Amino acid sequence: MADASVAGGSMDDYPTIDPTSFDVVLCGTGLPESILAAACAAAGKTVLHVDPDPFYGSFYSSIPLPSVPSILSPNSSTPCPPSTTASSSATAAYTAVDLERRSLYSEVETSGTVPEPSRRFTVDLVGPRVLYCADEAVDLLLRSGGSHHVEFKSVEGGSLIYWDGALCPVPDSRQAIFMDSTHRSKEKLNLRDNLKEKTLLFRFFKLVQSHIAASSSGDKDGEGEASGKISEEDLDLPFIEFLKKQQLQPKIRAVVLYAIAMADYDQDAADSCEKLLTTRDGIKTLALYSSSIGRFANAQGAFIYPMYGHGELPQAFCRFAAVKGALYVLRMPVTALLMDQEKKRYIGTRLASGQDILCQQLILGPSYKIPSLDMPADASDSNLTRKVARGVCIISSSIKEASSNVLVVFPPKSLQEQQATAVRALQLSSNVAVCPPGMFMIYLSTPCTDAFTGKQYINKAMEVLFSTQVSDDSEGHLETTSKNIEDTKPVLIWSCVYVQEITQGTSGTVLSCPMPDENLDYRDILESTKQVLRSLCVGKFYSYFCTCRRYRPGFWLIMEASELNCTCQ
């Protein structure tokens, strides 16, 4: 792997890249770009992977705490240097179209004092985020060999849900349903009603398990109770309607919807809900949650977290790609795209060194504004309406006694009546090597359409979890907080709240990769990455995710159509 000296320096500061033509050039080392580089390199394509930063991961990286202000500040994103005249004699065949980069972070607010030594704190730009033990990202790491470069720890504290001013454990098994004495409504305090509520929840989980088992066995002959499967009619229902049909009480519905199925938006507000979860999608996530519990002997619960932060994931795929022949150059900005004047398509990039690199396919990270060529002028910015408010905190003690890593979910309306989205908080400790012993990192996030509302929800969640000063005129302050949450709350030492734009991958003569989204896991990001790979392989090549051992097991492959004789799909 090559490493340019200093971004923005003279042309002599940059290395000369040889060869000057590749099958694929990728700009940015985020997780999608790194997976694509690994897939292309594994298929035998020549790959050049450059990044203007001195570290791997781009928006998916884990960075030292002192670097956070410069990364998040809108003023820190410098425009691409102007393109210089290339030394190639072929410049008459193409023209250089200057690139622009945009800052995807805004509304940054910090408070408190950073504890020392500050560099022992590592911040995930994608937080809060975990991996299900049984999800596709883990399988991809295992089967590609990327897991050799990443170590994981269990979120052993499980999940908590905030309900009626208290943090309640989320049941992660049938046994946990009956062991947990908190899963009852206020008006049902007698033992008989409490047992009835738990029986209904147990019956619901049993129904889900039967449906999953019947679906896995390929039973398509019957429907409903006779086959063990949920009917197609019920699967098409909004999930909340199906839960009501199962006679589950509001609190249990909230547990299933927001702490297990991971819905983001208020499912009770069907008319205004931005993303109404169907029973089919809800059951799919419940199946993933169920299969994740107990998959690994050393992992308690359903979730795991990578040691040293999520920035280790793109690095693992970059290492895999490098082993397969990909060339890496850090501190190497891309200043322009090269456009074939006759065919009106992009055929390469101009680097900050002034060198022109030709390629068959270009893939850009989400911070680059793609010059319009085969799309409307505003196409590159048309998907910037979605946002996610994020928070990063350092606290003095755990929010759950005797637990290091814990996930907390605040359902809609649990913090204030106007709250339309769920807020998630992930506590991490020194056992995942992101902070010194005795300290804890907390990540919070919620999707939002405007910065003010999103940050308001994040600050409300922080008020509930931490001991911090709150202004007297704070709207919607929870009166029940002090009497329903433990008197001794962790002390908030330092915090940073900000808003991040969410972009999706785009296709065209240049492919663009997605930003980290508002989800807790990587499922949607992986699906968007697959879409980019499919666009990359239109026509001559065909891509798929192979689960057999006939070819490279379980890794994305790009193969000649004539060689496709695998029947695992």
In whole angstroms, what is the distance from residue 147 CA to residue 90 CA?
A: 43
Which of 35, 74, 49, 141 shows the shortest CA–CA distance to 357? 49
Confidence of residue 175 (pLDDT cuts 50, 70, 90): low
Q: What is the pLDDT of residues 424-437, one digit of tens each?
A: 999 999 999 999 99
The whole-number average pLDDT for the span 180-187 is: 48
Residue 565 has pLDDT above 50, yes or no: no
**What does the alpha-carbon distance between residue 174 and residue 163 come to, in Å, rounded to a whole number?**
21
Rounded Cα–Cα distance for residues 375 and 381 (Å): 11
Q: What is the pLDDT of residue 445?
A: 97
CATH architecture of 2-109+310-383+503-540: 3-Layer(bba) Sandwich (3.50)
Domain ranges of the chain: 2-109+310-383+503-540, 155-170+387-501, 173-292
Nearest to 440 by CA among 401, 475, 405, 470: 405
Q: Which residue has the higher pLDDT, 263 or 201?
A: 263
Distance CA 336, CA 340 (A): 13
Query: Looking at domain 155-170+387-501, what is its CATH homologous superfamily?
Result: Guanine Nucleotide Dissociation Inhibitor, domain 2 (3.30.519.10)
Mean pLDDT of 270-298: 89
Return d(Cα 413, Cα 541) in angstroms, integer. Answer: 49
CA distances, 210 to each of 206, 225, 260 (Å): 6, 9, 18
Give pLDDT, residue 83. Answer: 55
Q: What is the mean pLDDT of residues 552-563?
A: 40
Tokens of 8: 């923005």
The secondary element (H helix, E strand) that includes residue 541 is strand 541-545
Q: What is the DSSP letter of 257?
A: I
Taking residues 166-179, what's their average pLDDT?
A: 69
Q: For 287-333, what is the HEC assignment?
A: HHHHHHCCCCCCCCCCEEEECCCCCHHHHHHHHHHHHCCCEEEECCC
**Tokens 């770009």 belong to which residue?**
33
CATH label, 173-292, candidates 3.30.2270.10, 3.50.50.60, 2.160.10.10, 1.10.405.10: 1.10.405.10
The pLDDT of residue 538 is above 50: no
- pLDDT at position 270, please? 78
Q: How confident is the model over 488-511, as pLDDT tens digits?
A: 789 999 999 999 998 776 666 788
Question: Percentage of residues in the chain with pLDDT exceeding 70?
Answer: 76
Q: Do domains 155-170+387-501 and 173-292 have the same CATH topology?
A: no
pLDDT band at 20 (very low <50, low <70, confident <90, very high): very high
Q: Check residues 561 and 130 and name the one with the higher pLDDT.
A: 130
Q: What is the pLDDT of residue 103?
A: 83
Q: Helix, strand, or coil here: 343?
A: coil
Which pLDDT tens digit goes with each residue over 455-498? Answer: 999 999 999 999 865 444 434 443 444 444 445 789 999 999 99
Is the model's pLDDT at 185 over the cut of 80? no
Q: For residue range 346-394, what is the model confidence (pLDDT) as tens digits?
A: 899 999 999 999 999 999 998 888 776 544 434 444 444 689 999 999 9
